Amino acid sequence: MCGIAGGIAGAQGSRFIERIAEATDCMASRGPDDRGHKVFGRLALGHRRLSVIDTSAAASQPMQDATGRYVIVFNGEFFNYREHREFVLSKGCTLRTRSDTEVLLNLYLLEGERCLQRVNGFFALAIYDTREKTLFLARDRFGVKPLYLFEDGDSFLFASEMKALIRFGIPREPDPASLHIYLQLNYIPPPYSIFRQVRKMMPGTYILYDAGKNKLVREASFFDISPEAPETAPSSYADAGNRLHELMDASVRRRLVSDVPLGAFLSGGLDSSIVSALAARHTDKLRTFSIGFPREPYYDETPFARKVAKHLGTDHTVFDVGNRDLFGILYDVLDYTDEPFADSSALNVYILSRHTRREVTVALSGDGGDELFAGYHKHRAEWIIRNRQLFTATLRNLYPLLKHLHGGRGGSMANRIRQAQRFADGARMNARDRYWRWCALAGEAEADRMMQTPAGSSGEYIKRKQLLTSWIGDGTDLNGTLLNDVKMILPGDMLTKVDLMSMAHSLEVRTPFLDYEVVQHAFHMPAKFKIDAQHQKKILKDAFSRLLPGEILSRGKKGFEVPLLNWFRTDMRDLIEKDLLGDDFIRSQGVFNPAAVRALKQRLFSTYPGEIQGRVWGMVVFQYWWRKYML
């Protein structure tokens, strides 16, 4: 795992090349083991290295092939590189290391962009052809590894993190449509970013850029998913489950390849338990790690994690977290966040990654299981709307009453009320609007009220919303909804969270559920194998039932949440009321409506705050980011 940066400077952009070392080194936590950069006239490549496979100095980057023609910077892992190593050697290529990077570079030498079809792994990469003067960029199929792009008509830059582009000295003009989306979702999905001239490279795509002529040659997909593939659909439910077990076991085994210590996150939920169970079969005394909130029982999952660890015989470690721990890492998290990103569970991942990194360098996670196999509450709600019209109509009619009840996330009853309110609200909408609303913490009207210059009715915002919900299907099959999660929520939220918070501690996190063979199989089976009237993740539970305790298979979904409300009302009250959301800062900033911000704070400190804490956290993150990067 590493950090990469570089690009092509146009006539007005020579300063970019001069700052390649600075831009690369600001990502030191992504690669604490080595650093390097090369300049080829108006083009530069930079690399920070976290040594995982072939830790020798010979595998440092930027790396050139034996002829010197091709140069690569690579962030990620190529898990099946060993089998392709024999292929490139058979074609006469010379290999000087045991690294996956060198194998990939030589595959590109032999096959060009077609080589990406061979790669099972996750990555962001850049390869420069010194003879043809072309720059090749690619991002993995599901967006596990990030890649930000800056274009201004003169220069073209890329980096693993926004902060590297900022160190290059790019102009920083906020994008109103992106801000409006952020105020709803608490993150900005790809391909958009907070800046007008910066975009996130879409997962599963590559770019070929002519450095000599300073122009884009081609941008295209090398991978896509279809929820309808009858020619490869499993013949039966039993066959689908058996195949899923085989593919997941193979995926986990691939991800155990490492020249450094390795472990697994274990929350006690189904997905991380499956990954840990499979890894434990192929590892002698697997190390597993979890965090808990012993003083917040509603949020604490450690009893389940311990139960699974005991069942599997893993060497399990629990890190207990309290408000003081959260406040202690607050500014570290805010400082590392170089684009507004406010999934509050990032705080959990930050603490978990920090403690885990003291023991291992690589950790497996269960990310992706919910999106592939219908694990979220919104999936249950969507199934009901599409399959239980009478119940849906009844709850829809009750919405005028339900919206006046006091729901929230602080307890089981309040949470049920909150879910009923969101269900009834969504039941009044079409499928795309409903999906968007259920992904959001705030509605479009609420986001508009927060902004000094509302953007919710702009053509640009409407176009983006349509694009970001374009995979939603009709009918009773939910695979289109799940595909939208894979396209929007995974790269925009879940994978961004894990990448940011793990890389802050130089910890590599691997995601077995996002092996492309597993994902393809998941979308080649009908959604009824995953969710029906009684079950969610049905096939996942059945396929792995013999590996786990029955209690884990029968428990409901529990999010990786943070007890924000009490924290905001105590340790963070002054930071919210008087500083970041204080009237003076809001007025001088000129971005938000002061009256709307005051109303947000009043509700937070009222008797019935509902679920307002998520929106407040979004504002805290944005304001801290603004103060750091925009003033």
Give catalytic residues, as residue numbers.
2
Residue written as token pair 């992504």: 30
Distance from C-alpha of 273 to C-alpha of 545, rounded to nearest angstrom: 11
Contact 450, 593 (CB under 8 A): yes
Residue 238, both tokens: 């039993």
- Indicate the residue type of 275: V
CA distances from 528 to 116, 122, 472, 484, 501 (A): 32, 29, 16, 17, 35
List phi, psi (to 5°) of 158. -140, 160
How far is the CA of 610 from the CAs of 242, 357, 416, in angstroms?
Answer: 43, 36, 12
CB atoms within 10 A of CB 157: 28
Q: Are 260 and 254 in contact (CB under 8 A)?
A: no
- DSSP bridge pairs for 199: 149
DSSP-H helix ranges across 190-301:
237-254, 270-281
Contact 508, 356 (CB under 8 A): no
- Alpha carbons within 13 A on the beta-carbon side of 532: 7
The secondary structure of 62-86 as a DSSP string is SEE-TTSSEEEEEEEEETTHHHHHH
| Angle value at C-alpha 627, between 625 and 629, nearest 5 degrees | 65
Distant-in-sequence, close-in-space partners of 125: CB < 8 Å, separation ≥ 6 = 4, 72, 73, 74, 75, 76, 104, 136, 137, 138
- Torsion-angle region of 596 (φ positive above 0: left; ψ -120 to 50: alpha; else: beta): alpha
Give alpha helix (H) positions in 398-549: 399-402, 412-426, 431-439, 444-450, 459-468, 479-484, 495-503, 516-524, 538-543
The set of residues, in sequence order, having a beta carbon less than 8 Å from that of 624 and lying 6+ positions away, is 334, 337, 580
**What is the DSSP pairing of strand 156-159 with strand 2-8?**
antiparallel
Secondary structure (3-state) at 47: strand
Residue 486, CB half-sphere, CA atoms under 13 Å: how many? 31
Secondary structure (3-state) at 28: helix
Q: What distance lies between CA 573 and its chain's CA centroid?
A: 29
All residues at 6 or more sequence positions from 174 whose CB lies less than 8 Å from its CB, including other chains: 194, 195, 196, 591, 630
Q: How many residues does the chain have?
A: 631
* Chain centre to alpha carbon of residue 564: 21
Q: Give the closest residue to 271 by CA, choosing from 251, 292, 293, 243.
A: 251
- For residues 34 and 49, the answer to whether their CB atoms sit within 8 Å is yes
